[in-house]
A and B are shown apart, each in its own frame.
Chain A
Amino acid sequence: MRFIVNTSVMISALIKKKSISFRAPTETKHELYIPEYSIEELIRHIKKIEERSELTSEEILARIILIINKIIIVSKDKVILHMHEAYKIIGHRDTKDAPFVATLLAIGGDGIVSYDNDFEEITKYGYVWLKPNNLL
């Protein structure tokens, strides 16, 4: 199956040493996708993540590389075509989630992996909202 990985999963993978959020994306057999600029922005805020992390800088870097290796980045050109529809689905909960829903629509995926409850909205449209442990 094809799932979008929300940044909450990637952040939690970089914060907790024995995180299921790190194991799940690196060991799952499902295809995982993220919208373009997710990694760039994650790295731009890496200091804030590091402040709350149990991991060393080297371990954080290593995990980012391992996660990137398992995830397919969907280009902005493809995602932006579905932003309007994405607003309709999730805009009333949090507009910031729209790029992830638009990515889901762009790839014709099955659902979104996230700790964020706002994504339960996608279940009304036949998609799956799941937590990282459900990937294994």
Chain B
Amino acid sequence: MVEVKIDLPEGFDIVKKKNILLMAIILATLINRLTQTTGYEDLSDEEIKSVLELDSIVKEDIFKHYTDG
């Protein structure tokens, strides 16, 4: 497991503003760079089954927006 520690300087404007979204974008970029160096796999049948179970729950709630009112 890789642990990423980022030490931000005190004068870093983003820290002062506490802009969480910007911080998340910076974090996302760093993580994306890390993941680009590793291999990628498709899901196993078991994983697809698990994903589709969750998907059914999420889709049901999306669907409600298109039928209610």
Whether A65 and B59, one on each chain, are in contact in the complex, defined by CB atoms closer than 8 angstroms, is: no
For chain B, the bracket of interface size reads 20 to 34
For chain A, the bracket of interface size reads 35 or more
Q: A102-B66, A132-B42 are in contact. Are A45 and B52 (CB under 8 A)?
A: no
Whether A8 and B61, one on each chain, are in contact in the complex, defined by CB atoms closer than 8 angstroms, is: no
B47 at the A interface (CB under 8 A): yes
| Binary contact track A87-103/B, C-beta < 8 Å → 1, others 0 | 00000001111110010
Residues of B within 8 A of A41 (CB): 58, 61-62, 65
Whether B59 and A97, one on each chain, are in contact in the complex, defined by CB atoms closer than 8 angstroms, is: yes
In the docked arrangement, what's the CA distance between A62 and B27, Å?
A: 6
CB proximity of A99 to chain B, nearest CB, Å = 5
Whether A18 and B65, one on each chain, are in contact in the complex, defined by CB atoms closer than 8 angstroms, is: no
Whether A6 and B62, one on each chain, are in contact in the complex, defined by CB atoms closer than 8 angstroms, is: no
Whether B27 and A45, one on each chain, are in contact in the complex, defined by CB atoms closer than 8 angstroms, is: no
A and B contact pairs by CB, cutoff 8 A, 29 listed: A7-B55, A7-B58, A8-B55, A11-B51, A11-B58, A15-B50, A15-B51, A16-B41, A17-B38, A18-B39, A19-B41, A26-B32, A36-B65, A38-B58, A41-B61, A52-B50, A62-B27, A62-B28, A62-B32, A65-B24, A79-B66, A96-B59, A96-B60, A98-B63, A115-B52, A115-B55, A116-B52, A132-B42, A133-B42
